[in-house]
Structure 1
Amino acid sequence: MRLALAAGMTLAASASPALAQYAGGVSGSIEVATDERRRGLSWSEGDPVLRGSVSVPVSEGLSLDGTAVSLWGSDRHGGADAVIDLGPSYVRQLGGWRLSAEARYHLFPGASDQGYGEIGGGAGFLLGPASVDLFASYAPRQSAIGGDNLYLSASAMAGVPGTPFTVSARVGRSSGDVRDASRAARLRPEGAYWDYGFGVDYLQGRWSAGLRYADSGIEGPGSRHAGPSLIGRLALNL
């Protein structure tokens, strides 16, 4: 697990010697959380996780990002001990609008034939301490996920005036074509579904903490580790 975390951060941070001129902008974080839940599904099967992230600027608006998260033998991902997310991100601010695009490849150390890639893009609008974001992610047809996968989401975030607290809410929908039902169940158990949640975060200096409620519309046998959950996190921003 230590090797997986180190690999994710090292690969992103050492993508090219040419990045040295932007080294002053390198940022990262270390976080512990009570669950790794993505799009309403627990990837760590409800177990606590350790997360490490790094972002390396390449040019204005463009960065290379890496994140590694412990999964402790996740059944959802073929017994993987971790997930490592690697890829570029681009963000541009146009007045009050924020446009973004990204590509990610998800590696799963400890498991075979589980990796898959996806691309995404979104638009957000800033209004004082608040923001509203729309985002879409698409994973083209791949054998590891039994077809393709489209995820659409909307989120809102606002700082509480005069306090270090931020509140947020989000809703998303997963859909796509199924070629292999057993593999497609990794990301979409029982087919298309909605997920939603809301949270509160506290930021003080380089430390942050948060609580998030997450749930999904998945019912039946596929609802294992997809029901309501309260997730806590504590992070150090480097």
Structure 2
Amino acid sequence: MRIALACASIAGASAGPAYAQYAEDVSASIEVATDERRRGLSWSDGDPVVRGSILIPVAAGLSLEATAVSLWGAKRHGGADAVADLGAAYVRQTGGWRLRAQARYHLFPGAAGQGFGELGAGAGYLIGPASVDFHAVYAPRQSSIGGDNLALSVSAAVGVPGIPITVATWIGRSSGDARDTVAAARLRPDGSYWDYGASVDYLKGRWSAGLRYTDSSINAPGSCHTGATLIGRVGLSL
């Protein structure tokens, strides 16, 4: 559970969804956070957010996933009031390896023509209390993002022995083809770039809390909410 929580925290800040074990029961969670950062970019213009998620297993290894996050009119996404991430994922455990494939579409209520889809794959390996994960997420060419987008990342997490705390770190690289430089700046304001960070998460029963540091190599003039920041979060599993 501590490893899964850390991977989920990494996902919110950088590369994508968590590479967790297959769940047999419906699960849901709600949390508040001081920012919504994904791959080093703030999706909420640096404002606090409320996030709700649900996972519904439909077959062995296959689940439907949905997450909704308040954005409060974020300029990065055309003034959208929220983002709804809708998709499906398939997880398979092979020995010590955890393999995952996914498809996801991002809807942006309150903004027209902002939605885009992504495909992803990853592999993780569990070594005692530690986990190492490799992720790849690709958004095919779409007018809403000005071209295509490829995000590669590696993350590592380790549970602290004897206490319900997990420490994690990650680094990622985003690149792609820009057919429309204005639209492409939405996900890559400085062209190809790196993002990186670290997190500390605490889990007690149904409650969780964490701190996350994230930064990026973006240095484009006028780029907002892309630099170093410390994010706090508190969550509840339902």
Instruction: Note whether the superposition's TM-score is higher than 0.5.
Output: yes
Q: How far is 1:223 from its partner? A: 3.2
Q: How far is 1:222 from its partner? A: 4.7
State the match for 1:214 in structure 2.
214
Q: Check conservation: 2:92, 2:100, Cα contact below 8 A.
A: yes
Higher relative contact order (CA 8 A, sep 6+): 2
State the match for 1:35 in structure 2.
35
Tell me, yes or no, if structure 1 residue 62 matches structure 2 residue 62. Answer: yes
Task: Specify the SS of the correspondent of 2:162.
Answer: coil
Tell me the distance in 2 between the aligned counterparts of 1:111 and 1:220. Answer: 25
Q: Check conservation: 1:190, 1:222, Cα contact below 8 A.
A: no
Tell me, yes or no, if structure 1 residue 120 matches structure 2 residue 120. Answer: yes
AA of the residue aligned to 1:193: Y
State the match for 1:76 in structure 2.
76
Q: Check conservation: 2:147, 2:177, Cα contact below 8 A.
A: yes
Tell me the distance in 1 between the aligned counterparts of 2:91 and 2:223. Answer: 35
State the match for 1:147 in structure 2.
147
Tell me the distance in 1 between the aligned counterparts of 2:50 and 2:222. Answer: 25
Tell me the distance in 1 between the aligned counterparts of 2:222 and 2:105. Answer: 25
State the match for 2:138 in structure 1.
138
Unaligned runs of 5+ in 1: 1-22
1:157-209 deviation digits (Å, cap 9, x = unpaired): 00000011000000000000000011001100020000000000000000000
Counting aligned pairs with the same residue, the percent is: 72
1:43-70 deviation digits (Å, cap 9, x = unpaired): 0011000000000001111100000000
Q: Check conservation: 2:29, 2:237, Cα contact below 8 A.
A: yes
Q: Check conservation: 1:189, 1:222, Cα contact below 8 A.
A: no
Aligned residues between the structures? 216
Tell me the distance in 1 between the aligned counterparts of 2:221 and 2:87. Answer: 34
Within 5 Å, which residues of 2 pair with 1:193-232? 193-232=193-232
Following TM superposition, the consecutive aligned residue runs of length 4 or more in structure 1 with deviations greater than 6 angstroms are: none
AA of the residue aligned to 1:127: I
Q: Check conservation: 2:153, 2:171, Cα contact below 8 A.
A: yes
Structure 1 or 2, whichever has the larger Rg, is: 1
Tell me, yes or no, if structure 1 residue 167 matches structure 2 residue 167. Answer: yes
From the two aligned structures, give the one with the greater helix fraction.
1
Please give the root-mean-square deviation of Cα atoms over the aligned residues, in Å. 1.1
1:17-45 deviation digits (Å, cap 9, x = unpaired): xxxxxx97100100000000000000001
